[in-house]
Structure formats: C-alpha cells, structure tokens
Structure 1
Amino acid sequence: MATHPNPAPAPDLAPVDLHYFAPPVALRSYFGSLYRFTVTLPSYRDVTRADAGQLRFMMSGDGHYTFHDGRDVATPEVCLLGPTMGATSFCLDSPSDVWGVSLLPLGWFALDGGDVSRMVDGLADMTVEHGPDYATLLEQLRDIRTDNVESAARIWAFLGSRLQPVSSTRQGVIESVDAWLSDEHSPRVADLVTATGLSDRQVARITNRLYGGPPKLLARKYRALRCAVRIAVDHTPWQELCDSSTFYDQSHFIREIKHFVGLTPHQLMTDPTEVARLTLQRRDMGMAMAEINRIS
C-alpha cells in the first residue's frame, strides 16, 4: 500500500502510545472507546487480542495484519476490520498515527447492515464498502491533526449521522446476548436460549450474523478475555483463575489464553507487549460504556 505525504507523529511522543476517548451518551450502545494510537519507531510489530469490529483511519503510516489462520492482508487507509476470533499480529512499516473506534454489535449493524460473519478475521476498505465520505473524514482529521478534542468530536458526529434505525426487536436480542456474554462465569447456551425465547438454531444464526460466531465460540472468546484482564490488570494468579473457571486443566487454560490474546498467562503477568498492556488497561480508564466492551 502506498504511503501518503502527511507527516508522521511528532518525535517527542512516546515510542508507542494509546489514548482513549469515551463515546457520547447517545452512542454508547453502538460504539466502544475511540482511540488514537501512535508509533514513532521506524517499524513496529505486535499482537492484538481477539476483539470486536474496528473502524480505523490511517492518518499516517502503512502496514498489514496477519490473522490467526496465517493470512497476511495490507491495511487500507480507512480500514473496516471485522471481529477477530483469535489473536491478530500486525506490522507497521513506518511511523504511524491511527484513529480507531470499536464497533459494538449494534453499531456494526446500524452502520453496515450486513452479515458480520463475512468479515470475521478479515478487513475491507471502508471507502469502497460505503463510499467516499469516509475518505473525506480522513482528510479532515489530517487537517486538524494536533487537536484531539476536535478530531474526536468530528468522528462522533460523523458516525452518529451514519447510523441507520434498528428495530426494537433486534436491539432486544443484542442486549440479551451482550448480557449473556458479560456473565462472569462461563455462559451456557441454554441460558441464552431461555433469555431470548428463541431456538438453538435461531440463536446460532443471530450470533453468527451480529457477533461473527456461534454461541460456544463467543463464550470461549469472552471467557479468555475476562481472564486476561484479571491476570494483567488485577494481577490475579493465573493458576487461581484456572482452578475457578471452567477449563479442563492448566494446559487447556494456557492454550485458550494464547489463542485469543496472543500471549501466555505467564507473559501477561510478567512481560506483556506494549499493545497488550495498553489495551487491557482500558477497563480501568473510568469510561462509561457498554458492559460487553468493558470486559474485553
């Protein structure tokens, strides 16, 4: 992917930095945190945990993602990244400055309207998917590069104006699934069937379309993310979590954390990467947001 002429982040910034901005009250059911990620190093490699969908604006820099199945894909300047069901590696080939926002299931549906399963562990160019307005916003962000407050306000106003109405029935189903995934214990599919009043098959079809996977896979993903936060942020001994959670044994626990987070429990406790450290600390940022986003 060709680089653009806009300047790289200022050299006085930290080598790797990440700042979060809470969504306005009216948008908290649609989006998680807005963030600005900057890297001043000439190149940088790291890994990100399994996550919800993301919309990212490459203010400067270029690079690529390597998904957990080994596919390597260059990132477009306005990148729609689908939900990931495993840790994803990324490489930046130059100093970079990126605005991004987490798309909660309701936000993805209201913005895109399509089946999210088509985008799992994949990405698309948002200017191709949804027109040139996204490229226009990117240029506006580059023009006001130094003003985070104005940039954040511009992004929220733009996204809010793009949301399509979502039926109360669909919103109710999403709220039920969010609440189910937010359960501190390992969620049981039978509980979700009861909460929604739908059949097993209907529930699976809905979670695939809105979350990118069947209920059992989603339960595994969010169980691993909750455990990772408790290890990295609360410093809970991972052996204690293994014993108190529904894992078969320590080997199973380690494999699940490694698959969904990209690091072993020991690495999370003693030597997390910069991105792991910065993203997992999001829970303690004091931001009011949807519970499903806070636990990751």
Structure 2
Amino acid sequence: MALEYYMPRADLRDYVRAYYLFSTDHRTIQPLCAEMGNIRVVLNGGGVMHMPDGRKQHTTSAFLLGPTLSAYCLEAEAGTRAFGIGIRPKGWITLCGVNAEELTDKIIDLTSFAGGLARSTIDEMRNARSFDEMSAAADRFFSNLIMRRTARRTSSYPEALAQWLLDPNELGIDSLVDMMDVSRRQTDRIAKTYFGASPKYLQRKYRALRAADRIRSGDLDWISAAGGAYYDQSHFIKEFKTFIGVTPKQFIGNQAQLITEIQSKRRIHALPMPLASF
C-alpha cells in the first residue's frame, strides 16, 4: 500500500487541500477517519466503501464523497490505483455547487455535477503517464469549475467558524455566535452549508482528529493526547473510535495503517491538519 501527495496550483489551494495517489498491490480493508470531502478517480481496480450507516457503495469510476460524520471503511481490490482530491470546506459551494449537508455520508458520480468537463478530465487522468500529468489535469478541472461558478456565489466563506474550530481552547457556542455576528440559528445553518454538520458536532469531530494527530506524533498517553475536554477514559475511547474508526490502543498498534500513513505523508509534505483529513 502506497500514498503520494502533490500540491495543487497555488491559486486553487483555498478550495483544494491536496492531491494524492493511492495504490495497493494486495486486497486491503482499512478504517478511515471522519473527513470533510473527497473526489476520487479510480484508475485501476475498484472496491467498496463501507459507509458509517452500514451501506456498501461500490467504487469503480469517479465520484464525490461528501463529508463523513464518523469513521468509515475502505475495501480495495488488489491492484487498485486511485487519484484523490481533498476538498476544503471553502470549496464546497465554489467547486461543487451544493450544500455540504446534502451530501454527508453520501457518494455521487462526479459527472452528475460537472458533466462533460468531468468526463474529459477522467479520461486525461487515466491516460496520464505520471502523477504530475494527473495533477495538471486536476488543476485545469478545478480552474474551469471556479470560472463556471463564480457568478453563482451568494455568500462569503465563514472564516470565523474555521478559526473557532481550530482554537486550542475549544471555545463555547456563545463565543462562536459572537465571532460570526449572526444569530445562533444562522450560525448552525452556515456550519451545515460548508462543513455538513452543526458546530457542536464539528467540535467533537475535530477534537478526536487532533487527539489522533497527537498520538501519531508520539504523545502516547491517552490523557495527554485527549486534552481536558473528555469526562473520563471511556468517554475518550468512545469518541475516538466514532471519528477515527479504531480505539486509541488499536491506533497506537498501527491497526489503522492508512490513517497513520496519511498523517506521516502530511508531515513530510508540510500539509497542516486543519479542516480536512485526507
């Protein structure tokens, strides 16, 4: 199993976090933590996505995976290769033209919202001779999407919400409402539009993701990794498994190999964790 990363063109990085090439010579089943959203183009092979609600979704073409509200599982056939794109929350409306909440825990065909542009890009990627060529095709795809959808933008990205989610002090909802300068109800609606879930739920999700990142960094004691936001050890373990897909002990034991590989490669390529998992 191998994973390579490539940065998108500089003017696209507000919307697209990174490109990655996944490959495996052997059949593999791996848990994946809760994510913000991905586009994946299957170049060879295929597999099954075991979604959080128990559904099985076969993956044999190109698709958009919406934000996942909890961990899910990837089952890949031997010889599978896939080009993936991590979508930032800011990219949902601009690139996909859809409310993130509408696609939580769902998979849709890439051509259903990008039509012929998606089909030609898929062909380019499958005929590409290198990762560089695939990435260049992705750059052109997103640049064209941005030009198409610019006139449809109706609201600005909520930078305050992103800052609130990343604050190490885990501020309360009242602080977020003040930072957003809108009503609590509007704050909730905006969070679901860009992130697919309510602020409180998102806070739980990112709390667990940060703990996993600390464990991967070598901070193995669960209390240190968890911080002060959990009631007790059982609460931490339950939340960790919900969003990461394994217990902290299993995670330390490398029973989520793909997640740890993602985190390791992210550090090598200086890709910060904020607001997207892949």
Which amino acid in 2 is paired with 1:170? S
Aligned to 2:234: 251
Paired with 1:269 and 1:154, the residues of 2 have a C-alpha distance of: 37
Aligned to 1:192: 176
Per-residue CA deviation, residues 236-292 of structure 1 (Å, 9 max, x unaligned), is 4222233x3210110000011101001111122222332121112244134366843
Aligned pairs (5 A) from 1:76-155: 76-144=60-128, 146-155=129-138
Which amino acid in 1 is paired with 2:135? A
Q: Once the 2 structures are TM-superposed, how far is the Cα of residue 122 of structure 1 from its aligned partner? A: 1.0
| Secondary structure at 1:254 match in 2 | helix
Instruction: Rate the CA distance shift 1:250–1:273 in 2: closer, same or farther, 3 A.
Output: same
Q: Once the 2 structures are TM-superposed, how far is the Cα of residue 132 of structure 1 from its aligned partner? A: 2.7
Percent identity of paired positions between Structure 1 and Structure 2: 28
Which amino acid in 1 is paired with 2:21? R
1:229 correspondence with 2:213: yes
Aligned to 2:10: 25
Where in structure 2 are there 5+ consecutive unaligned residues?
Answer: none
Aligned to 2:167: 183
Q: Once the 2 structures are TM-superposed, how far is the Cα of residue 54 of structure 1 from its aligned partner? A: 0.3
Partners of 1:52 and 1:83 within 8 A in 2: yes
Paired with 1:277 and 1:117, the residues of 2 have a C-alpha distance of: 27
Aligned pair count reads 275
Paired with 1:65 and 1:290, the residues of 2 have a C-alpha distance of: 23
Residue among 265, 270, 278 paired with 2:261: 278
Paired with 1:45 and 1:286, the residues of 2 have a C-alpha distance of: 25
Paired with 1:63 and 1:228, the residues of 2 have a C-alpha distance of: 26
Aligned to 2:275: 292
Most deviating of 93-102 and 230-239: 230-239
Q: Once the 2 structures are TM-superposed, how far is the Cα of residue 222 of structure 1 from its aligned partner? A: 0.5
Most deviating of 270-279 and 217-226: 270-279
Paired with 1:89 and 1:276, the residues of 2 have a C-alpha distance of: 11
User: TM-score, with normalisation over the residues of structure 2?
Assistant: 0.92
Instruction: Rate the CA distance shift 1:227–1:122 in 2: closer, same or farther, 3 A.
Output: same
Partners of 1:258 and 1:264 within 8 A in 2: yes
Q: Once the 2 structures are TM-superposed, how far is the Cα of residue 88 of structure 1 from its aligned partner? A: 0.8
Partners of 1:22 and 1:289 within 8 A in 2: no
Partners of 1:76 and 1:124 within 8 A in 2: no
Most deviating of 161-170 and 271-280: 161-170
Per-residue CA deviation, residues 210-247 of structure 1 (Å, 9 max, x unaligned), is 111011000000010001010012334222233x3210
1:40 correspondence with 2:22: no
In the TM superposition, structure 1's runs of 4+ consecutive aligned residues that sit over 3 Å from their partners are 166-169, 286-291
Instruction: Rate the CA distance shift 1:104–1:83 in 2: closer, same or farther, 3 A.
Output: same
Paired with 1:24 and 1:180, the residues of 2 have a C-alpha distance of: 27
| Secondary structure at 2:242 match in 1 | helix
Per-residue CA deviation, residues 24-76 of structure 1 (Å, 9 max, x unaligned), is 221111111110000111x2211110001100101111111111221111225
Paired with 2:92 and 2:25, the residues of 1 have a C-alpha distance of: 31
Q: Once the 2 structures are TM-superposed, how far is the Cα of residue 176 of structure 1 from its aligned partner? A: 1.4
Residue among 39, 49, 53 paired with 1:65: 49
Q: Once the 2 structures are TM-superposed, how far is the Cα of residue 169 of structure 1 from its aligned partner? A: 4.9
